[in-house]
Amino acid sequence: LALIRAIRTRASRSALRTKETAGLHLGIGDDCALLRVRSSEEIAVTTDLSIAGRHFHFDWHPPEAVGHRTLARGLSDLAAMGARPVAAFLSVGLPQELMLKAKKGATWFERYLDGFFDLAKSTGTPLAGGDLAQSPLFAADIVLFGAVRRGRALLRSGARPGHLLYVTGSLGGSAAGLIRLAAWAKENRSKFGHAKESKKKGAEAFASVRIPKKLAADLAPHLTPQPRLTVGQVLSRPGLASAAIDISDGLSSDLAHICEESRVAAEIDAALLPLHNAATLEQALHGGEDYELLFTAPPNVRVPRTIAGIPITRIGRILPLRAGRPTITLLTPQGQQPLQPSGWQHFA
Ligand SMILES: [Mg+2]
């Protein structure tokens, strides 16, 4: 009960100003939350699971990053549809040791909430409810409600042959960061280790992952990806994007989703891809969790070079689907080759 009270206080503090304008009429405290969006809008809903060992590792990821990523994954789906966030609902299965205080400072779960609420605040996403239960495994289920102008949501199915293909920001930074993170965790295993391997007691083992300052910039694309909410809302204005998706599984996989839903083929030019400065071409093509937006626009549309300060890069075009031709073709200096969708194997 004390924990729920603490979360409620933080929820109301972090979203005091944004609550009403976002469309959350009644937040935590009643049997249900009440949402009021404009009559010109429709509601976008998305859910995501974050499970320990599957979506993050206790001995790799600082708890703040786990909290940030829980919310970022859902917000990125809203961004892909052109929706603005209205309210978040967070349900957590929580092992007892994550609520134990480490010698210095906060519990793992308090630090998880720090990361969650930092992003909630910066994106104007009020936490409107959820559930909490003791569990042998940490699992967080996030449900996000967004609002989008009626009939204006960006779908995966709107790409047509001749449309051009664009991406926001840079690609591969998250995959490159994950490899750095894994290497760093291996080097430092003796310092904190996984709870099972650690000689330290539970609370210390779980709460002690802190990323050194010199690594922070390299790991940021992986640990604290920024959902492209403003870009998505701009792209959903009439006469801009024709289809969109967020890059959660990797460019090759997410482009395949657009092709499948739009019944088209696509061609991307390796030389045009905006590689993150630490990333390889392979990571840019198949590395997931960049949470950039991949979108299409008709060729006559003037797509801005930046939207809300985020660079926009043209990377290819949409082609008609033809029997015997690959769905996605990659153009390289050595010629063209079929590109198989192969998402990043998270912890392989
Ligand atoms: Mg998505």
81: pLDDT strictly greater than 80: yes
196: pLDDT strictly greater than 80: no
Alpha carbon of 197 to ligand 1 centroid (Å):
35
User: pLDDT higher for 101 or 69?
Assistant: 69
CA angle, residues 66, 72, 75, in degrees to nearest 5: 150
Alpha carbon of 99 to ligand 1 centroid (Å):
31
Alpha carbon of 22 to ligand 1 centroid (Å):
21
Q: Which three-class secondary structure state does DSSP give residue 199?
A: coil
| Complete DSSP assignment for 282-320 | HHHHH------EEEEE-TTS---SEETTEEEEEEEEEEE
Alpha carbon of 73 to ligand 1 centroid (Å):
8
Alpha carbon of 167 to ligand 1 centroid (Å):
14
% of the chain surpassing 90 pLDDT: 71
% of the chain surpassing 70 pLDDT: 90
| Complete DSSP assignment for 11-74 | HHHHTTTHHHHHTEEE-BTBSS-EE---TTEEEEEEEEEEEBTTTB-TTTS-HHHHHHHHHHHH
Q: Please state the rounded mean pLDDT for residues 25-54.
A: 91
Question: What's at 14, amino acid-wise?
Answer: S
pLDDT for 27 equals 82
The model carries a pTM of: 0.91
Q: Please state the rounded mean pLDDT for residues 238-250.
A: 96
74: pLDDT strictly greater than 80: yes
195: pLDDT strictly greater than 90: no
- Residues pairing with 311 in the sheet: 306
Alpha carbon of 214 to ligand 1 centroid (Å):
31
User: pLDDT higher for 248 or 14?
Assistant: 248
How far apart are the C-alpha atoms of 248 and 77, rounded to whole Å?
A: 9
Alpha carbon of 25 to ligand 1 centroid (Å):
27
Alpha carbon of 42 to ligand 1 centroid (Å):
18
Q: Please state the rounded mean pLDDT for residues 245-264.
A: 96
Alpha carbon of 77 to ligand 1 centroid (Å):
4
pLDDT level of residue 198 (50, 70, 90 thresholds): very low
Q: Please state the rounded mean pLDDT for residues 54-63.
A: 90
14: pLDDT strictly greater than 70: no
- Lowest-pLDDT choice from 27-31, 37-41, 159-163, 328-332: 27-31
User: pLDDT higher for 210 or 160?
Assistant: 160
Alpha carbon of 226 to ligand 1 centroid (Å):
14
How far apart are the C-alpha atoms of 175 and 279, rounded to whole Å?
A: 8
209: pLDDT strictly greater than 90: no
Alpha carbon of 293 to ligand 1 centroid (Å):
9
How far apart are the C-alpha atoms of 56 and 52, rounded to whole Å?
A: 6
pLDDT for 206 equals 64
Alpha carbon of 46 to ligand 1 centroid (Å):
9
> In this predicted model, what pLDDT tens digit does every residue of 91-146 receive, in sequence order?
999 998 898 877 667 889 999 999 999 999 999 999 999 999 999 999 999 999 99
Q: What is the DSSP letter of 304?
A: -
pLDDT for 185 equals 87
How far apart are the C-alpha atoms of 87 and 309, rounded to whole Å?
A: 25
- Residue 291 tokens read as 């949470």
Mean pLDDT (the chain, rounded) = 90
- Which one, of 36, 43, 122, 41, lies nearest residue 27 by Cα? 36
How far apart are the C-alpha atoms of 82 and 97, rounded to whole Å?
A: 39
pLDDT for 147 equals 96
Alpha carbon of 193 to ligand 1 centroid (Å):
32
How far apart are the C-alpha atoms of 112 and 74, rounded to whole Å?
A: 16
pLDDT for 343 equals 66
Burial class of residue 302 (count of CB atoms within 10 Å of its CB; 0-12, 13-18, 19+): exposed
Alpha carbon of 48 to ligand 1 centroid (Å):
10
pLDDT for 208 equals 67
Alpha carbon of 258 to ligand 1 centroid (Å):
11
20: pLDDT strictly greater than 70: no
Alpha carbon of 250 to ligand 1 centroid (Å):
11
pLDDT level of residue 25 (50, 70, 90 thresholds): confident
Alpha carbon of 317 to ligand 1 centroid (Å):
21
Secondary element (H or E) of residue 117: helix 108-123
> In this predicted model, what pLDDT tens digit does every residue of 263-282 receive, in sequence order?
999 999 999 999 999 999 99
pLDDT level of residue 197 (50, 70, 90 thresholds): very low
Alpha carbon of 186 to ligand 1 centroid (Å):
31
- Lowest-pLDDT choice from 86-100, 158-172, 289-303: 86-100
Alpha carbon of 247 to ligand 1 centroid (Å):
7
- Residues pairing with 100 in the sheet: none
How far apart are the C-alpha atoms of 38 and 29, rounded to whole Å?
A: 23
Alpha carbon of 245 to ligand 1 centroid (Å):
6
- Residue 88 tokens read as 């978040």
Alpha carbon of 75 to ligand 1 centroid (Å):
9
> In this predicted model, what pLDDT tens digit does every residue of 301-345 receive, in sequence order?
999 999 999 999 999 999 999 999 999 999 999 999 999 888 655
Alpha carbon of 80 to ligand 1 centroid (Å):
7
Judge whether 14 and 120 are in contact, CB under 8 Å: yes
pLDDT for 64 equals 94
Between the alpha carbon of residue 51 and those of residues 117, 135, 180, 239, 288, the distances in Å are 19, 12, 21, 39, 17
Alpha carbon of 231 to ligand 1 centroid (Å):
15
Alpha carbon of 101 to ligand 1 centroid (Å):
35
Q: What is the DSSP letter of 224?
A: S
pLDDT level of residue 22 (50, 70, 90 thresholds): confident
